[in-house]
Amino acid sequence: MTGPQPVPVQPSLSIIPSPYVIVHIQRVQTDELDPDTGNPKTVQYPPVVRLAQGISQIGRLRGSSKFIFSAEFVKRVETELHIAVADPAVYGPMDQVLLFPELDEDGEYVAGTGYAFQVDGVAYDGRQSPWPLFSKAFGGMVRLRRVS
């Protein structure tokens, strides 16, 4: 099993600028079962610094943050975002994306920094169209969700 390949922080092949630094942590389920729960074990790969073209909030009327009330949590906020990226194929469901992370002087991720979001579903790949030579330069969208 191979993890994500590090992508140097440099301009992407897209014609759209990518000014936002993010950190991507890929998670993959294995065939091995956890003896305590009986669920497949999840392997988390090392963080990879990537670039995003844009970050936008999505959702219902006037934004996507909403309050969820239950017996367990009196108040909790759920936020959904879209990030535009040059290569949406590297993001999979349940991966973690850290927004606004800190990087050291070598451009490496500083552990414990950034705001964690989870990839929600399969990324939209705008590069797949009837005109692939034209649309491959645009990338796609990844939907993120955070419950805090």
Question: Confidence band (pLDDT; 50, 70, 90) for 148?
Answer: low
**pLDDT at residue 25 tops 60:** yes
Question: Confidence band (pLDDT; 50, 70, 90) for 6?
Answer: very low
Calpha distance 54→131 (Å, rounded)? 23
**Cβ–Cβ < 8 Å for 102, 114:** yes
Identify the pLDDT of residue 91: 92
Identify the pLDDT of residue 77: 65
Alpha helices in the chain (DSSP H): 132-135
**Cβ–Cβ < 8 Å for 125, 54:** no
Calpha distance 46→90 (Å, rounded)? 14
pTM of the model: 0.75
Q: What is the domain partition of the chain in residue ranges?
A: 20-32+39-147
Of 99, 104, 86, 100, nearest in space to 145 by CA: 99
Q: What type of residue is 108?
A: E
Calpha distance 57→52 (Å, rounded)? 14
